[in-house]
């Protein structure tokens, strides 16, 4: 368990805003064009590599149409004409650690898979659904918690433990689709990882 450092509120807010600003600048635009020299994240390379490998296998078995579709799809991802299935990890975006809480963009479809790809594979993650106002309060409660390491060299307890907070209109109803109508989700550092069935801020 990490040592809790008393962090003044202005310092906590400054760290949170700095992270959100850096994330906004680094977060890939799914529809944006790819330009020469633009770094390609590990997850995107993996997605394209899988498509090209499968295309090669099909070509070796003399199948003609399927390889063409896969090659066109892989090239479209590299050109920026279509988003890759995968999401670039936060480490790929240049983050070695995170503030004790913060917000992440949410994209439609495959939300659980996208969440898991953002963090190192060793990360302990639990996903809970809350009302949006509850999430804002829980993020604020992380003021004095330790920062979250994303690499072994990032400092702090390894592997990290994170609670993902998904804003929904009616939480605690037992739904497991993990979809939200909001454009964001939130995270916070968790020493232990609870799975809530009642509102912890109530």
Give me the long-range contacts of 8-12 (CB less than 8 A, separation at least 24): 9/143, 12/99, 12/100, 12/142, 12/143, 12/144
Burial 53-65 (b: 16+ CB within 10 A, else e): eebeebeeeeeee
* Predicted pLDDT at 148: 93
Give the predicted TM-score (pTM) of the model: 0.66
Domain check: are 102 and 162 in the same one? yes
Residues 110 and 165 in one domain: yes
pLDDT over 70 at 82, yes or no: no
Which range (1-5, 66-70, 71-75, 135-139) has the least confidence? 1-5
**44 or 167, which is more confident:** 167
pLDDT above 50 (res 32):
no
Say if 2 falls within a structural domain: no
- How many domains is the chain partitioned into structurally? 2
What digits encode the pLDDT tens for the residues 96-136? 999 999 999 886 566 777 788 899 988 999 888 888 899 99
Percentage of the chain surpassing pLDDT 90?
24
Question: Where in the sequence is the domain holding 82, given as residue range(s)?
Answer: 29-86
- Are 100 and 76 members of one domain? no
Asked if 183 and 123 sit in the same domain, the reply is: yes
């Amino acid at each position: 368990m990490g040592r809790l450092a008393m962090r003044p509120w202005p310092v906590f807010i400054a760290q949170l805003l700095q992270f959100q600003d850096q994330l906004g600048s680094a977060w890939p635009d799914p529809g944006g064009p790819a330009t020469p020299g633009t770094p390609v994240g590990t997850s995107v390379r993996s997605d394209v590599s899988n498509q090209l490998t499968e295309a090669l296998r099909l070509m070796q078995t003399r199948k003609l149409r399927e390889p063409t579709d896969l090659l066109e799809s892989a090239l479209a991802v590299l050109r920026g004409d279509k988003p890759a299935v995968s999401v670039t990890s936060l480490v790929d975006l240049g983050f070695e650690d995170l503030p004790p809480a913060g917000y992440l963009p949410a994209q439609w479809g495959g939300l659980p898979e996208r969440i898991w790809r953002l963090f190192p594979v060793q990360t302990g993650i639990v996903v809970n659904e809350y009302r949006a106002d509850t999430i804002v309060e829980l993020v604020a409660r992380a003021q004095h918690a330790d920062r979250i390491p994303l690499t072994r060299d990032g400092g702090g307890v390894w592997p990290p433990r994170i609670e993902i907070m998904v804003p929904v209109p009616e939480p605690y109803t037992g739904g497991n689709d993990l979809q939200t109508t909001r454009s964001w989700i939130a995270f916070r550092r968790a020493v232990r990882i609870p799975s809530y069935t009642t509102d912890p801020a109530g």
